[in-house]
Structure 1
Amino acid sequence: MSPGASGLLQSWQVWAGLAAVSAALTSLFAKLGLQGLQPDVATFLRTLVVVLCLAVVLAASGQLQGLALGSLPRASLLALALSGLATAASWLCYFRALQLGPVARVAPIDKLSVVLVALLGVLVLGEQLGWRSWLGVALIALGGVLVALP
C-alpha cells in the first residue's frame, strides 16, 4: 500500500464519507427489502447480518482473542448498552417510517439527527462549534424540512 493510501485510511473525513455512502445504500436496500415483510422482522434480519459481519471482522482482526467483558470499564459498557438501545429504537422507527413513506422523504428527516447530535455535542459533551458549523447545522435542518414537506 502506498504511503498516501495509508494516510487516507487514517482520515476521519474519508471514513465519514464512506459511512454516508453506506447509509444511503442502507436506506435504498431497506426500502426494497421491506416489500412483503413487517418492518420489525426486517429490522431483526438486518441486525443479524450486521452481527455476522462484525463477528467476521473482529475474528479476522484478532480483536476477539482475550476479550474479557468483565475487565472493560463499566461506564463504557453502560454507555454502549444505552447506545445499543438507542440504535434499536432508531432502526425500528426508521423501518416503520420507510414502510409508510417514500425513502427520499424519510431519509432526510432521519438525518435531522445530525442537527440533534450537534446540539447534544455542545450541551452534553461541551464541544465547541464555530459560526460556519452552526450555519451548516441550520442549513441541514432547513434542507431536511424542505425535502420532507409535501
Structure 2
Amino acid sequence: MWIVWAVLAAVSAALVIVLTKAGLKNVDPSLAFAIQAILILLITWGVVLFQGNFSSWKAIEKNAWIFLIAAGIFTSLSTLFSYKALSIGPASYVATVERMSLVIAIVLSVVFLKEKLTWQIILGGTVMLAGAILIALSDQGE
C-alpha cells in the first residue's frame, strides 16, 4: 500500500512545482512560501484533528522531537531554496536537479539508517544522477 501513497506524493509534488512556478510571477519566493505555509499548517492540523490524533503529541519521545524539528527546518530551507530556483529557472530543469535529493537520500539512508543497498538501487540512483546532470548542463536550463 505504500506505493499508492508514494505515487500520490509524487503527483502532488509535481503539481506543486508547476503551480508554484505559475504563481511566482511578480511574487517574492519567500512570500509565496509563507502564503502556502499557512495553508499547509491549516490543512495538516485539520487532518490531525479530524483523525483524532491531537493528544498523541504528548507521547512523542525526545529524540523523535529533535528529528522532527530538524526535518521541519530542512523542509523549510528546501522549499525556500526550491522556490528561489523556480523564480529564476525553468520548472522542468529546477525539478529535475532538485530531485537529486533522491540520490542523496539513498546515500544517507544507507549510512545513517543502515538500509540495504542493492544493485537495483545503485543502478537506479546512478541513472537519476546522470539524468539530472544531463539536464542541468543542457543549454536551455540557463
TM-score, normalized by length of structure 1? 0.88
Partner Cα distance (1:146, 1:12) in 2: 30
Q: Match for 1:40: what amino acid?
A: S
**CA RMSD of superposed structures (Å):** 1.1
- What is aligned with 1:78? 66
- Distance in 2 (CA, whole Å) between partners of 1:133 and 1:89 is 27
For residues 46 and 39 of structure 1, what CA distance do their matches in structure 2 show? 11
How far residue 36 of structure 1 moved from its aligned partner, in angstroms, is 1.7
SS of alignment partner, residue 27 of structure 2 = coil
Q: State which structure, 1 or 2, has the greater radius of gyration over its C-alpha atoms.
A: 1
Match of 2:101 among 90, 113, 116: 113
Other-structure match for 2:18: 28
Counterpart for residue 5 of structure 1: none
| 2:88 pairs with one of 86, 91, 100 | 100
TM-score by length of structure 2 reads: 0.93
Q: Provide the residue aligned with 2:4 in structure 1.
A: 14
Q: Which amino acid aligns with 2:4?
A: V
Deviation string for 1:59-85 (max 9, x for gaps)?
Answer: 111111x3454x420000000000001
Q: Does 1:46 align with 2:32?
A: no
**SS of alignment partner, residue 25 of structure 2:** coil
Of 132, 143, 147 in structure 1, the residue corresponding to residue 120 of structure 2 is 132
Report whether the alignment pairs 1:142 with 2:119. Answer: no
Unaligned runs of 5+ in 2: none
Aligned residues: 138
Give the Å deviation of 1:14: 0.9
1:63 aligns with 2:39: no
